Amino acid sequence: MKNPFPFYHPLILASIATTLLSSVAADQTKVTSFEGESSQAAVKALDATTEIIGDEGVTDGSKALRITFTPDAKTSGIDLIAEEPWDCRRLGNYHLRYDAKNPGEHSIHLHAVVNGPKGGNFIRSVSIPAKSSGSYYFELKGEGLKTDFGLRDDPPSLDLDATRMITRIFKQQADFPMVKKIRFYVSKNIHAKTLILDNIHFASSPEPKPGYLTGFVDKFGQNAKADFDWKITSEEELKAAADKELRELAVSDLMPDRSRWGGWKDGPKLKATGYFRTEKYKGKWAIVDPDGYLFFSSGIANVRMANSTTFTGVDYRDDSVREIDPEDVTPEDSQGMVAVPRSIQEDDYEIHPVRRAMFEWLPDYDDPLAKHYSYRRETHHGPVPHGQTFSFYQANLERRYGETFRGSYLTKWRDVTIDRMHDWGFTSFGNWAAEEFYHAKRLPYFANGWIIGDFKTLSSGADYWRPMPDPFDPEFARRAKLTTEIVAEEVMGSPWCVGVFLDNEMSWGNEDSLRSQHGIVLDALSKGTGESPAAAAFIKALKEKYPDITQLNQKWGTSVESWDQLAAGMKIEDEQLSEGMLEDLSELKILYAHQYFRVVSSALKDVLPNHLYLGPRLTTWGMSWEVRKAAKEYVDLMGFNYYREGLGSADWHFLEEMDLPCLIGEFHMGSTDSGLPSVGLIHSADQKDRAKMWTEYMTTIIESPYFVGAHWFQYFDSPITGRAHDGENYNVGFVTVTDTPYEEMIKAAKELHGKLYPMKYGEVEE
């Protein structure tokens, strides 16, 4: 038979083993064990090297596949492609299973993608520990697999002698009676890593564990059905742990080389302005603290109660709790705790019985801990559109510290949190610190605001959080002014405020496709000037460049009859994107970004002229060169959110050209040994590995001449049943839901921070 995959590695084609429509057992369908049987599938290497081996890692037969991943590659791994789809219909509820060995010194965050013959996919992730061998699986058909219960991932429903892979972002709604392709890959590793795969097959799943979603949350908000080292079992134990930590913090202070602002007291002293500023020092960008010392911002973001609540499955019949003031400047996910009148609470009802049944305990309305109920009027993602929430984290603070006067446990929490930051060596908070920290005058912070409101919007085509604003709409400028004035009222000109983030992770489009890169401009042009102020600005700019419409048609390869026709709205398809048109689309994208940053920065500098503007925290998935080019003229310090193992180099080719001080606004790693079903965007093997990965990430930031800080997201773990905003139930905290510090993380933070400034700016010259 003619080889249907002539472009694949011949050694792999000669060695790959698959049996497509037959099975080794009635409850299995084999994909491959790499034994050299006649090939009806192929291995395609994806920016990786592969080799059939016959020694280590073999679990079925005498051979296995070794994959050597390429560091810093966006996708490095393999595709397993069936000539005819693997037929899994007879398996009933089933899962993919494989054996893997990691012989290296670093854990491997492995992704798996399974594709059906008619499209659709399932994506899962897992951390494979260093120096380990084991079996791994994820379900493709089964109970609750596609049902969103308000958690990014649920507790395991199957009893299997293998490690479960975790849902990547959201549950997919695909259906796979047959499978066409399986991909195993890693993304943007900072180390060279090797993985050995064997015995890849589909298998029938056992019956799910009865009640796996029922009562899995104890009264402290922990996993009631799992044991782990830092699990709290009583209020006495919680209080004793708090008392012990308080005694230790009482004799702790700032690290000895720090200024009162957290800068490098033992280093050089530059010009002092009384506020934080930036300066390039000996070829490296730096923040300079108000007293003139070099400052690097190592911080923790989201130190606030706003994201500590989870939906209880209950709602209220009184619609008044859902009213939203159109002049409000704070989006729902940043709202703090909301007290609901008892008269409204008593008229409650179950809106989601499955969620309600997840909790072993929730307080009666007469219970003192009932004050930790709150309310969400809307949500970004999940099965509950609005409803009652509860904060186990805040309730545990009251249990830890008691209440000697109304809310005293929150005052204690504020002081303990700052004491911890000093003890652990952090130099500042990250974004989204609670306002009660602003005037403690003990730790620098970053203020934040959102520009929301009823202004015109545009779409880049991939609006993850929300559509993009139309900054040419006068209402956008009014809302920017309103927001920055409120931020200024909160900051009150304090020198402890390093600067301000405004907006977050906006969908500017990216360079993965022309449609994505230019989506905002294309959307505006499709709306026309009657609907889009941006379209009016764009057409005005085009008229200035092309006095006659025929000139535009010649450049674009179009046949627009008049400017009026273009102004009425013109939908441009992908096949119409000519080189001449793309040049103009980029210019219009720059015009759009200029207008956004001009409006926002002007509004901020009018009210806080002495504070740094850090932009909207760009992302690699939501920016393009046009945005960076425009932003450079307005931001003082460029913020990026970057969830990877470390900086690498592939995503940061623009740093030298941009030549601005930069800061990482968010990153994290998580592990399942925390008791939480999901772990976050970057996976680690356990808490020790998580601490190691934090150190490695921070080291890549410190070594860069452009980065002046990095902020971990976030202070405490997500609620185990998902934060109310979007269901994130991640192990991403430096502390648990009981406010118990993760010892390995604290140890790593102290060690790195103890040598932070000499690492960043060199040893002190004698």
Whether the predicted pLDDT of 39 surpasses 80: no
Sorted by sequence, the CB contacts under 8 Å of residue 272 that are 6+ apart come out as: 288, 290, 291, 292
6 alpha carbon, distance to own chain's centre: 39
**Is the model's pLDDT at 765 over the cut of 60?**
no
Work out the average pLDDT over 116-127: 89
Is the predicted pLDDT of residue 766 greater than 80, yes or no?
no
Output the pLDDT for position 15: 39
When pLDDT is averaged across residues 194-204 and rounded to a whole number, the result is 96
What digits encode the pLDDT tens for the residues 262-320?
Answer: 999 999 999 999 999 999 999 999 999 999 999 999 999 999 999 999 999 999 999 99
What average pLDDT does this structure show over 134-160?
93
Average pLDDT over residues 21-41: 67
With a pLDDT cut of 90, the percent of the chain lying above it is 87
- Using H for helix, E for strand and C for coil, what is the string for 532-570? CHHHHHHHHHHHHHCCCHHHHHHHHCCCCCCHHHHHCCC
Full-model pTM: 0.94
Look at residue 370 in the predicted model and tell me its pLDDT: 97
- Smallest CA-to-CA distance from 319 within 387, 413, 405 is with 387
DSSP conformational letter for 454: S
Check pLDDT > 60 for residue 382.
yes
Would you place residue 498 in the very low, low, confident or very high pLDDT band (cuts 50, 70, 90)? very high
Average pLDDT over residues 48-65: 94
Q: What is the DSSP letter of 223?
A: B
Only one residue has tokens 């020790």, namely 688
Omega cis (within 30) before 714: yes
Least confident interval from 170-184, 422-436, 444-458: 170-184
Dist CA 583 CA 594 (whole Å): 17
Structure confidence at residue 13 (pLDDT):
38
d(CA 626, CA 636): 18
pLDDT confidence of residue 593: 98
Cα-based distances in Å from 341 to 328, 345, 348, 371, 433: 21, 6, 12, 11, 27
Strand partners, 375: 388
Average pLDDT over residues 136-158: 93
119 CB-contact burial (10 Å; exposed 0-12 / middle 13-18 / buried 19+): exposed
Confidence category of residue 1, pLDDT binned at 50, 70, 90:
very low
Question: Quick one: pLDDT at residue 14?
Answer: 36
Tokens 């782990």: give the residue. Answer: 228
Which pLDDT band holds residue 231 (cuts at 50, 70, 90)? very high
Q: Where are the beta strands (DSSP E) in 70-175?
A: 76-87, 94-102, 108-115, 121-128, 132-141, 163-164, 166-167
- Determine how β-strand 163-164 pairs with β-strand 132-141: parallel
- pLDDT, mean of residues 337-363: 96
CB of 409 closer than 8 Å to CB of 397? yes
Token reading at 239: 């209080």
* pLDDT band at residue 126 using 50, 70 and 90 as cut-offs: very high
For 560-618, the pLDDT digits (tens) are 999 999 999 999 999 999 999 999 999 999 999 999 999 999 999 999 999 999 999 99
What would the two tokens of residue 356 be? 């309600």
Provide the pLDDT confidence category of residue 714 given band limits of 50, 70 and 90: very high
Q: Is a pLDDT exceeding 70 seen at residue 17?
A: no
C-alpha span between 324 and 208 (Å, rounded): 42
Mean pLDDT of the chain: 93
Find the mean pLDDT for residues 244-268. 96
Q: Are 626 and 602 in contact (CB under 8 A)?
A: no
Please name the helix (run of DSSP H) or strand (run of DSSP E) that holds residue 200, with its range, or none. strand 193-204
d(CA 589, CA 581): 12
pLDDT at 666 over 90: yes
How far separated are the first and last CA of the chain, in Å rounded? 76
Given this model, what pLDDT does residue 26 score?
63
